[in-house]
């Protein structure tokens, strides 16, 4: 079987099809499906882009691993926000979105017959990138009773001499679960003891509701000693999903290997976009970020209150703009979400779209307008599936 044949089918296509059909029939859809911020990139960043793009110096091939200004701004962010010191030259790499970095990471170390460990449930790219590199993704479950953290004994049991990478994602999509220092310490030790590269996908690092939720793996794991890497993204931080810019920070050897793979694949991020990213991390950072994040807590409350009042069990998450809740007894995730679309025109993502561990759950994304949030909450309240 070829590598492409091993890629799993796209589980959301049935929902997409049903959504488009309902829309074509004139149903007023409220879409809580996709996790893509509804609001535009903050105006100061858009203005900065217009200036930057007018500068012809930025029109040529960019600095592949990221310009010095941006890498220094990233190192400063890690220092001031997380107390983590990284060398901007060797321990920071600019990415064309964290998806790109995750997609290329297995190519740095996975050979035919090697394996990686990937969470079930989770973002599908870790496993798909492993398959495309010729490796075998081995899944480990994330369960509600363990606060959607992996069981470390189980993880240890899955590791063998061909295990190259362990992928984690905290703050977690889709559950909103977070990892604290104690967990990071233990999992870092485990990965080190088996000589496995530990990757944390921190795309939601700044979308948090409690200060404790905001622990970086690198605060605990010394990336000068441990082969750890963390991927952060501007996508959710500043409503910049379409701009395609993110960064990796961590172990210099892993960073340089990823840079080598990327050199053969891409030519980096458009210089004006890098310029805007460096500007965003500058003096106005806290204020800009607070402005972007301020929309989510009230939306979260509206949706959570409606769900609670309608009798749903919600997972008490600490981060991300998702609400993760159990489907009522008697329904599969897919049945429940299809019914929501059919009966009340609300698009909800079935939990099993993120892996078998998501069966019995559904995800609501808070990246819809305040008006749609209110309307969706009203429809959910008035509905008995």
Ligand X SMILES: Cc1ncc(COP(=O)(O)O)c(C=O)c1O
- Report CA torsion sign: 153, 157, 158, 161: positive
User: Which residue, 109 or 129, has its beta carbon nearer to ligand X?
Assistant: 129
The site map against ligand X for 169-208 (x = CB under 6 A) is x---x---------------------------x-x-----
Q: For tokens 């607070």, what's the residue?
A: 290
Is 235 a binder of ligand X (CB under 6 A)?
Answer: yes
User: Which residue, 227 or 363, has its beta carbon nearer to ligand X?
Assistant: 363
User: Which residue, 35 or 345, has its beta carbon nearer to ligand X?
Assistant: 35
User: Which residue, 240 or 307, has its beta carbon nearer to ligand X?
Assistant: 240
Q: How far apart (Å, rounded) are the C-alpha atoms in residues 109 and 114?
A: 9
Please tell me the total number of residues recorded for the chain in this structure: 385
User: Which residue, 320 or 333, has its beta carbon nearer to ligand X?
Assistant: 320
User: Which residue, 102 or 221, has its beta carbon nearer to ligand X?
Assistant: 102
Among 67, 97, 106, 318, which residue sits at the site for ligand X (rule: CB under 6 A)?
97
Q: Strand 349-350 relative to strand 361-365: parallel, antiparallel, unpaired?
A: antiparallel
Q: Judge whether 366 and 319 are in contact, CB under 8 Å.
A: no
CB of residue 57 to ligand X, shortest distance in Å: 26
Of the ranges 78-86, 96-104, 143-151, 325-333, which one interacts with ligand X (CB under 6 A)?
A: 96-104
Q: What is the dihedral of CA 314, 318, 322, 323, to 10 degrees?
A: 10
CB of residue 56 to ligand X, shortest distance in Å: 28
CB of residue 283 to ligand X, shortest distance in Å: 24
**Residues 35-54 within binding reach of ligand X (CB under 6 A):** 35
Helix, strand or coil for residue 229?
A: strand
Among 66, 75, 93, 98, which residue sits at the site for ligand X (rule: CB under 6 A)?
98
Q: For tokens 């690198």, what's the residue?
A: 218
As given in the structure block, the two tokens for residue 302 are 């509206």
**Residues 69-88 within binding reach of ligand X (CB under 6 A):** none
Q: How far apart (Å, rounded) are the C-alpha atoms in residues 128 and 116?
A: 11
**Residues 151-170 within binding reach of ligand X (CB under 6 A):** 169
Q: Which residue is nearest to ligand X (CB)?
A: 97
Q: Strand 115-120 relative to strand 361-365: parallel, antiparallel, unpaired?
A: unpaired
Nearest to 244 by CA among 267, 219, 263: 267
Among 32, 82, 123, 247, which residue sits at the site for ligand X (rule: CB under 6 A)?
123
User: Which residue, 201 or 372, has its beta carbon nearer to ligand X?
Assistant: 201
CB of residue 112 to ligand X, shortest distance in Å: 26
CB of residue 232 to ligand X, shortest distance in Å: 8
CB of residue 201 to ligand X, shortest distance in Å: 5
Helix, strand or coil for residue 224?
A: coil
Q: How far apart (Å, rounded) are the C-alpha atoms in residues 18 and 21?
A: 5
Helix axes 271-280, 43-53, angle to 10 degrees: 140
For residues 1-24, one letter each, b for 16 or more C-beta atoms within 10 angstroms of the residue's C-beta and e for the rest, the string is eeeeeeeeeebeeebeeebeebee
User: Which residue, 114 or 201, has its beta carbon nearer to ligand X?
Assistant: 201
Q: For tokens 């890629």, what's the residue?
A: 7
Q: Judge whether 280 and 288 are in contact, CB under 8 Å.
A: yes
User: Which residue, 173 or 304, has its beta carbon nearer to ligand X?
Assistant: 173
Nearest to 367 by CA among 93, 139, 36: 36
CB of residue 241 to ligand X, shortest distance in Å: 5
Is 233 a binder of ligand X (CB under 6 A)?
Answer: yes
Nearest to 373 by CA among 298, 318, 291, 313: 298
The site map against ligand X for 237-256 (x = CB under 6 A) is ----x----x----------
User: Which residue, 239 or 333, has its beta carbon nearer to ligand X?
Assistant: 239
Of the ranges 93-101, 144-152, 158-166, 346-354, which one interacts with ligand X (CB under 6 A)?
A: 93-101
> Residues interacting with ligand X, by CB under 6 A?
35, 97-99, 123, 169, 173, 201, 203, 233, 235, 241, 246
């Amino acid at each position: 079987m070829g590598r492409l044949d091993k890629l799993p089918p796209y589980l959301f296509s049935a929902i997409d099809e049903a959504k488009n059909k309902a829309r074509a029939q004139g149903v007023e859809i409220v879409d809580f499906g996709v996790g893509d911020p509804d609001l535009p990139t903050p105006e100061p960043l858009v203005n900065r882009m217009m200036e930057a793009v007018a500068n012809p110096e930025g029109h040529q091939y960019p600095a592949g691993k990221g310009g010095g200004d941006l890498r220094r701004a990233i190192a400063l962010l890690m220092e001031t926000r997380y107390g983590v010191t990284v060398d901007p030259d060797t321990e920071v790499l600019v990415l064309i979105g964290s998806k790109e970095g995750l997609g290329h990471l297995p190519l740095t170390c996975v050979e035919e017959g090697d394996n990686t460990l990937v969470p079930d449930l989770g973002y599908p790219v870790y496993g798909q990138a492993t398959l495309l590199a010729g490796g075998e993704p081995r899944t480990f479950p994330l369960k509600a009773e363990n606060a959607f953290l992996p069981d470390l004994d189980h993880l240890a049991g899955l590791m063998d001499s061909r295990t190259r990478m362990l992928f984690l994602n905290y703050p977690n999509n889709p559950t909103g679960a977070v990892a604290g220092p104690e967990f990071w310490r233990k999992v870092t030790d485990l990965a080190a003891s088996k000589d496995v590269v530990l990757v944390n996908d921190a795309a939601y690092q700044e979308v948090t509701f409690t200060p404790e939720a905001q622990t970086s793996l690198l605060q605990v794991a010394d990336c000068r000693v441990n082969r750890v890497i963390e991927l952060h993204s501007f996508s959710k931080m500043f409503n910049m999903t379409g701009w395609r810019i993110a960064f990796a920070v961590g172990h210099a050897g892993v960073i340089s290997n990823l840079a080598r793979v990327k050199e053969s694949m891409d030519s980096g991020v458009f210089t004006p976009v890098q310029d805007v990213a460096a500007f965003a991390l500058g003096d106005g950072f806290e204020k800009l970020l607070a402005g972007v994040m301020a929309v989510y807590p009230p939306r979260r409350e509206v949706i959570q209150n409606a769900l609670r009042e309608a009798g749903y069990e919600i997972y008490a998450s600490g981060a991300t703009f998702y609400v993760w809740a159990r489907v009522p007894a008697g329904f599969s995730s897919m049945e429940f979400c299809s019914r929501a679309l059919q009966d009340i025109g609300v698009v909800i993502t079935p939990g099993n779209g993120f892996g078998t561990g998501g069966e019995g759950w559904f995800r609501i994304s808070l990246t819809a307008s305040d008006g749609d949030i209110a309307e969706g909450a009203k429809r959910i309240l008035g509905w008995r599936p």
